[in-house]
Amino acid sequence: MQSVPHFVSGQRVAGVGEMPVFNPATGEMTALVPVPEASFVDGVIATAHEASLTWRESSLSQRTNVLFTFRQLLVEHTDELAAIITAEHGKTLADAKGELARGLENVEYACGLTEHLKGGFSSQVADGVDVHSLREPVGVVAAITPFNFPAMVPLWMSANALATGNVVILKPSERDPSTAVRLGELLSEAGLPDGVFNVLQGNASTVNQLLEHEGIDAISFVGSTPVARHVYQTGTTNGKQVQALGGAKNHMVVLADADLDIAADAAINAGYGAAGERCMAISVVVAVGDVAEPLIEKITERLDKLTVGPGSDPSSDFGPVITKEHRDRIVNYVTTAALDGITVVRDGTALADRPGFFVGPCLLDGVRPGTRSYDDEIFGPVLGVARVATYDDAVALINANPYGNGTAIFTRDGNAARVFSRQVTVGMIGINVPIPVPVSSYSFGGWKNSLFGHAHIYGPEGFAFYTRAKVITTRWPKPSDSQIDLGFPTTR
Ligand code: NAD
């Protein structure tokens, strides 16, 4: 069985494979991932530190050239990268290409680094005194990423971290670790010096070593809420700056005046796309007033037409989930929903009998706080409908939820939408847009248990997170102020 390599100092480095990687569409084990010894991790961090001493001094034009070339290589290698993503993650090829496109945006944004790294200047703040500011790289960044976007999330982090003169050690998810290695090779091909971008395979113990290691300066983490909280607490206790993005439970409110066909299309795309394994997936449709019955009817009509199959088959609307354990966990939410008084309108759990890790689309009616299928992030193709009487009840439901990643409202009433966007305690809001992932010139981040730390990821906040400010106050005394004869006229 082949072992997925690390990528260190510009080359693949073999490790002893220990953890299995599966093709979720077949259930077959396809590779093993190494769990490195502590001494190996120390060595990678030392390599990164050494590389950071020169990369931090690189010119902005050199970094721009690397990123422009990398952008082009990502475009040229889209099919190859999408095939790797689909083989290990299971999502459809179209979805894998979509993820690459959203990652590419971040590289394009980072290509504007001379603009983003401009400092400020104030002339004559006091007599003969000027002030200017600049931003310097933090040093070595550990990027720790989840399974559900094996290319996009590493690009969210790496594009800005490299543009700002940092060195990256990427610890990808052990479930789909191969894309990260190809990204490293393409960065090398683009001209990035050896050691500036490294991939360290591993598991929780590898992450914990990074969190405590004195050679790591900053940590960008994306994953589940319990791990995000742990990463934030441990990293900051060890003196690092940390941004840790966690899980989600995203609500989509449908008001009585909404176009229900548009809302039902949105619920299908945002609830079942990528088998619901997106942190911005809609998991709860909040039906206000009398909307529930007609909306459920429209959602089920569409749901019944969905095709579930291998991600490599162009006719599949969505593919399998990531592991057998995760499939069984999702199935359990559906088979036990009735115990909480929830109606299972559509039960896709029979697909779990297929080879691979499949679950068909499930629709639950009557989810509410205090029931497992509402309280937990299921992270599968299970959409819940919560019925509320009024708009105020919808907002109260969202604001009482411990997560605050994304939310959406469907309505024709501009004022209702505006008030909603001001009232909800959520970081990213869509108005008739179910998955409001910001474009790369805005930053991405949730509130409450969806983000630990203050900095959102990518965009302007990404540039700020990967840099430290310096402010320089300058006074050049006139020669007449000093006792030294400089040999030129003092009145200029
Ligand atoms: P995860 O938390 O299990 O793993 C994420 C990373 O943390 C992996 O690299 C893993 O090796 C490491 N890890 C796992 N357990 C650890 C532990 N105990 N200690 C230290 N490190 C540990 O997440 P996942 O299952 O890979 O990804 C799905 C989760 O990520 C979902 O909750 C989803 O909502 C969330 N997510 C959030 C965003 C966002 O932007 N907020 C984006 C994508 C995914």
223 lines ligand 1 (CB under 6 A): yes
Evaluate whether 165 touches 116 at the Cβ level (below 8 Å).
no
Using CA atoms, how far apart are residues 241 and 219, in angstroms rounded to an integer? Answer: 6
Ligand 1 pocket mutation, candidates 206, 222, 229, criterion most atoms within 8 A of CB: 222
Q: Which atom of ligand 1 is nearest to the CA of 451?
A: 41
Model confidence pLDDT, tens digit, residues 96-119: 999 999 999 999 999 999 999 999
The token pair at 21 is 């990687």
Instruction: Check whether 492 has a pLDDT greater than 80.
Output: no
Give the number of other Cβ atoms within 10 Å of residue 18's Cβ: 15
Nearest CA to ligand 1 atom 18: 204
441-460 per-position pLDDT tens digit: 999 999 999 999 999 999 99
Residue nearest atom 30 of ligand 1, based on CA coordinates: 223
Q: pLDDT (tens digit, 9 = 90+) per residue, 386-398? A: 999 999 999 999 9
Number of neighbours of residue 109 by Cβ within 10 angstroms: 23
Q: What is the reported pLDDT for 490?
A: 52
Please state, in angstroms and rounded to a whole number, the distance separating the CA atoms of residues 441 and 463.
11
pLDDT at position 480 is 73
- Centre a 10 Å sphere on the Cβ of residue 359 and count the other Cβ atoms it contains: 29
Ligand 1 center to 212 CA (angstroms) = 18
Across the range 331-335, mean pLDDT stands at 98
CA atoms 365, 368, 372, 378: torsion sign: positive
Query: Does ligand 1 have an atom closer than 6 angstroms to the CB of 147?
Result: yes
Tokens, residue 478: 């006139």
The CB of 89 under 6 Å from ligand 1? The reply is: no
How confident is the model over 223-261, as pLDDT tens digits?
999 999 999 999 999 999 999 999 999 999 999 999 999
- The tens digit of pLDDT for each residue in 13-71 reads 999 999 999 999 999 999 999 999 999 999 999 999 999 999 999 999 999 999 999 99
Q: What is the DSSP letter of 255?
A: -
What does each C-alpha distance from 417 to 135, 265, 306 come to in angstroms? 38, 19, 30
208 lines ligand 1 (CB under 6 A): yes
Overall fold of domain 250-431 = Aldehyde Dehydrogenase; Chain A, domain 2 (3.40.309)
Q: Which fold has domain 6-246+450-472?
A: Aldehyde Dehydrogenase; Chain A, domain 1 (3.40.605)
Q: Are 97 and 81 in contact (CB under 8 A)?
A: no
Report the mean per-residue pLDDT for the chain. 97
Q: Is 233 in the pocket of ligand 1 (CB under 6 A)?
A: no
Domain limits, the chain: 6-246+450-472, 250-431
| 29 phi and psi angles, rounded to 5 deg | -75, 130
Task: Please state, for a pLDDT cut of 90, what percent of the chain lies above it.
Answer: 97
When pLDDT is cut at 50, 70 and 90, the band that residue 186 belongs to is very high
Q: pLDDT tens digits for 339-380?
A: 999 999 999 999 999 999 999 999 999 999 999 999 999 999
156 C-alpha to ligand 1 centroid (Å):
15
398 CA to centre of ligand 1 in angstroms: 23
- Residue 417 and residue 405 in contact, taking contact as beta carbons nearer than 8 Å: no
Tell whether ligand 1 has an atom less than 6 A from the beta carbon of residue 230: yes
Mean pLDDT of 413-433: 98
Cα 340 to Cα 337, 345, 368, 374, 432, distances in angstroms: 5, 14, 9, 10, 31
Which stretches within 145-224 are classed as H helix? 152-163, 178-189, 204-212
Ligand 1 midpoint to CA 451 (Å): 12
> What global pTM score does this model have?
0.96
Nearest-CA residue for ligand 1 atom 12 is 204
- Picking from 267, 249, 276, the residue whose alpha carbon sits closest to that of residue 447 is 249
The single residue of 199, 279, 296, 378 carrying the catalytic annotation is 279
Quote the tokens at residue 287.
Answer: 């039906």
Beta bridge partners, 408, equal 252, 430
All residues at 6 or more sequence positions from 3 whose CB lies less than 8 Å from its CB, including other chains = 14, 15, 16, 17, 31, 32, 33, 34
pLDDT in tens, 287-327: 999 999 999 999 999 999 999 999 999 999 999 999 999 99
Judge whether 279 counts as a catalytic residue.
Answer: yes
Residue whose entry in the numeric block shows the structure tokens 């030294």: 484
Residue 488's pLDDT is: 59
Ligand 1, atom 11, residue with closest C-alpha? 203
Distance CA(18)–CA(4), nearest Å, equals 10
Beta strands (DSSP E) in 273-381 are 282-288, 343-346, 362-365
